[in-house]
C-alpha cells in the first residue's frame, strides 16, 4: 500500500513590523523681546515703583469770570464780573503709587490765587492725579518725559483785593481739569524732579477760571 508523501510544513507568517513612532511636532523658537520690553517674570522697575508722593508749584497768567452764587443774580449782566488777565500761582500735592515705570496714579489737593487789577481770586480743591510716560519704550532720556492729567472738584471766588468780604464771583462746587507735560530727569536719591508746563480750568454755573502755568515738580518714589 502506497504511503502518502509528507507535505511541507506551512511557514509561519512573518511578524508585522511595528509602526514607526510619530515624530514630535517641531516647537516654535522663542521670540526675543523687543527693544524696551522684558519678560514679565524678569521685568524690574528701573525708574519708578512703589509708594509715591508728588508736589508741584507753578506761576502764570489767569483770569476769573462769573457771578455771585445767588439765584437772583446768576445770568444777569449787572452782576457779571470779568477780572481781566492777572498773574497767579498754583501748587498741588498728591499721594499714590507708581503702578509701572510708565504710569503712576494718586489723589491729593491743590490751592492757588490770581491777582488781577483790584481783585484777587483764590481757589482750591481735591483732585485725582495721573502721570503717563508714552515715550518710555524709546529708552534713555525719553523715559523721563511725561504727561500729567488731573481732575477733581473745588471752589473758586473773586473778591475785592482790599476787602475780601466783597465777593464778586462765587464758584462753590466747581469742576476742575488740568493737563501738562513735564521732564523728570533730575534725580537725587529716590527723588525725581524737573520743569513742567501746563494749564487748568475751573468751571461751574457761576465761574469760568482758566490759568496757564510754568513751574517745577518733584516726586518721591520708594522704589526701585
Q: What structural domains does the chain harbor?
A: 49-223 (2.40.160)
What is the per-residue pLDDT for 1?
46
For the ranges 12-16, 22-26, 143-147, the maximum mean pLDDT occurs at: 143-147
Question: With left for phi above 0 and alpha for psi between -120 and 50, is residue 31 left, alpha or beta?
Answer: beta
Looking up cell 523721563 gives: 144
> pLDDT digits over 151-191, tens only?
999 999 999 999 989 999 999 999 999 999 999 999 999 99
List C-alpha distances in Å: 11 to 6, 8, 16, 17, 77.
Answer: 15, 9, 15, 17, 120
User: Which residues lie across from 97 on neighbouring strands?
Assistant: 51, 105
CA 182 to chain centre: 12
Provide the grid cell at 185. Answer: 530727569
User: Is residue 47 scored above 70 in pLDDT?
Assistant: yes
DSSP state, 142? G
Cβ contacts of residue 23 below 8 Å, gap of 6+? none
Separation of alpha carbons 55 and 158, rounded Å? 25
pLDDT-above-90 percentage for the chain: 75
On whether the pTM is more than 0.85, the answer is no
Element (H, E) at 175: strand 167-183
Amino acid at each position: 500500500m502506497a504511503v502518502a508523501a509528507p507535505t511541507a510544513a506551512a511557514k509561519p507568517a512573518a511578524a508585522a513590523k511595528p509602526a514607526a513612532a510619530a515624530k514630535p511636532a517641531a516647537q516654535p523658537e522663542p521670540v526675543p523681546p523687543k527693544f524696551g520690553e522684558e519678560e514679565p517674570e524678569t521685568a524690574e522697575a528701573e525708574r519708578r515703583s512703589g509708594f509715591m508722593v508728588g508736589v508741584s508749584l507753578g506761576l502764570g497768567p489767569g483770569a476769573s469770570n462769573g457771578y455771585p452764587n445767588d439765584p437772583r443774580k446768576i445770568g444777569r449782566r449787572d452782576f457779571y464780573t470779568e477780572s481781566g488777565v492777572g498773574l497767579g500761582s498754583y501748587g498741588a500735592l498728591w499721594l499714590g503709587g507708581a503702578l509701572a515705570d510708565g504710569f503712576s496714579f494718586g489723589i491729593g489737593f491743590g490751592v492757588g490765587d490770581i491777582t488781577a487789577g483790584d481783585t484777587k481770586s483764590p481757589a482750591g480743591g481735591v483732585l485725582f492725579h495721573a502721570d503717563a510716560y508714552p515715550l518710555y519704550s524709546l529708552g534713555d532720556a525719553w523715559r523721563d518725559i511725561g504727561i500729567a492729567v488731573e481732575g477733581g472738584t473745588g471752589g473758586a471766588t473773586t473778591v475785592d483785593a482790599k476787602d475780601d468780604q466783597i465777593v464778586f464771583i462765587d464758584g462753590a462746587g466747581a469742576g476742575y481739569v488740568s493737563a501738562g507735560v513735564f521732564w523728570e530727569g533730575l534725580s537725587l536719591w529716590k527723588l525725581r524732579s524737573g520743569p513742567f508746563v501746563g494749564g487748568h480750568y475751573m468751571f461751574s454755573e457761576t465761574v469760568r477760571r482758566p490759568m496757564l502755568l510754568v513751574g517745577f515738580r518733584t516726586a518721591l518714589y520708594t522704589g526701585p
